[in-house]
Structure 1
Amino acid sequence: MHSYIINHNIHFNCGFPLTTNNVMTAIHNTNDVLEKLPASLFRSIDYKTTSAMIGCILCENIALTTDGAAIVNPIEKGHPDIVPHKAVGSTEEQLRNYPIGLEVKCTIGGVPKDVNINKAAPRIDYISNVTWQAHHQEVNELFGITFDYIRTPSGYKPVISATFYSDELCVSDWGDISGTEGRNTKVCGMKASGKTKMGAGWFAILSDTPIYWQKYSYLFKIVAK
């Protein structure tokens, strides 16, 4: 089991009971699922697909820890990703933008353009920025996660490396929406103001080696454990 530095002062405001222990259990369970998958899978799919897979597995595990108080949003393009159980009877239109719940976004983080890293290889030494994307600017509550690749006996596999939470995001924390023409997916990136809020709400950072705390505390200007 991987070890984490945990901020126990985080309170999840998502419309259903969710404790730090719930979320840490879900993180560990997600890592266990990922470790059981073949390393060849992660060498053959892109980072966007891997991010979506990790987010999906984590959402399922968070919902499972709530003893039925929450469910994964049952529609593909639903928002937030996890909603209270009472949302079961909601229409598809309502589930596309349900008023309460927990939105989860995953990213591997960016590296400088001149850095060449092998596919599915550790990246923490090279990460220079972390930016989450959303499909609209009205995301005001977010559980943002990052991942990295860790050596296992059967090859390098992803593990959740850090998590951050804020329920104070606003429209101005998101950039302009791109992909508004044609069949492109509409997305907007989080701006510096949003990252500051997420950094203030850091929740768990991998502590298998000191580099993870050093890197994320630097990028998000975290001043204390």
Structure 2
Amino acid sequence: MTIIDQTPTDASTAPALPAYRLAGVTKTYTQKGRIVHALEGVDVEIGTGDFVTIQGPTGGGKSTLLQLLGALDVPTSGHVLIGDTDLAAASPAQLASLRAREIAFVFQSFNLIPTLTAAENVAMGLEPLGLDRAERDARVADALARVGLSERGDHRPGELSGGQQQRVAIARAIAKRPRVLLADEPTGNLDEQMRDEILTALEHLNAEGLTLVVVTHDSAVATRARRRLRLDRGAIHDITR
């Protein structure tokens, strides 16, 4: 895969950059005295506004790949570009800014603060942005509305179902208005009905233009995506049918 030419182009005619471009990406680390090749020569492009799932066996490199996509780590070799930013060349401050403003995360565990209301939990995700109170409150209300929880903003996590708690976690993620949402087993703790609720909420967000990358073991989740990738022994394959 070739990294794009960085020659300036007229903004009115330039095509939108992909959300991600990975070229020749390797990630190697040492574990208990042995060298682990977590990723080996990964080449993949994820388009802006795409909905992609990543499957594969435990230990196949999924968590490592997600850390790179989330700007939580940098590759041992190769290039990971988020828009036009190459993570390997980015400063710690640039990586922190990407995580704060461009990328949002949702995990299998809801990670809500039990003593705070849903609205307060969402607001906590906006702290790094330094918004004034009016803007913060507007974003909280908008995010809760987008996941169908406008009437639950004053409820604490213990007063919500598992599916509702995960929707609060999604609202917290999207309140900062990221370009990309990375989800790691977001339905892993939910029954089938709640799983489908969460998938529907994510699909609506993707239809609005949010780039969505979901790591999952659940084929029922994977088949809802437009693209399916499989990561096994550090190598990636497109298995979309």
Asked if Structure 1 and Structure 2 have the same fold, meaning a TM-score greater than 0.5 normalized by the shorter chain, the answer is: no
Bigger strand fraction: 2
Ranked by relative contact order (alpha carbons within 8 Å, sequence separation 6 or more), the top structure is 2
